[in-house]
Amino acid sequence: RTHHVLFLGKMKFNKNVSSSRRKCRKRHFTAPSSVRRKLMSAPLSKELRQKHSVRSMAVRKDDEVVITRGHYKGQQPAKITAVYRKKWVVHIDRITREKANGATVPIGIHPSKVEITKLKLDKDRRKILERKARPKLAEKEKGAGKHKEKDVQSMDTS
């Protein structure tokens, strides 16, 4: 078997992480629940992103979300009723379907296809938010970006 490697100029920083499609897929689909928690994260709404300086969060049972993709997109925000890590989906309030025998069952939605509009905050979640926001806040204090304003002006004059 021959393997063709296409090098796109990206350097691999961690030698313990494989670039192999086969290995990446295997690790993804056999990941333990603790790893799935992080993989099952959703972006925050623009308001929450501004407020907390965090782009995404791992989803949790009582978060309020709005669906952004698929058949159910664009509805009112609804609560997450269950995070089904084994099936890589979240169950959302009022997103159900009728089975042939008359039973209603929740429809699984992948967390990347929802946007969190309201977080259920407890002390652990607040700590996660603070930890994730720390580098961004430090960058703001330092003055974001590579170039300082005075450097840019000096470049323009010369």
Report pLDDT digits (tens) over 58-93: 999 999 999 999 999 988 999 999 999 999 999 999
Structure tokens at 154: 């000096």
Decide if pLDDT at 3 tops 90. Answer: no
The pTM (predicted TM-score) of the whole model is 0.77
Give the Cα separation of 122 and 155 in Å (integer).
48
Q: Would you state the structure tokens that stand for residue 25, as one six-digit string? A: 């897929």
Tell me the torsion sign for CA atoms 11, 16, 22, 27: negative
- Mean pLDDT throughout 34-58? 94
| Residue 64 and residue 42 in contact, taking contact as beta carbons nearer than 8 Å | no
Task: Write the pLDDT tens digit of every residue in 8-21.
Answer: 566 788 889 889 99
DSSP 15-84: TTS---HHHHHHHHHT--HHHHHHHSEEEBPHHHHHHH--SEEE--TT-EEEE-SSTTTT---EEEEEEE
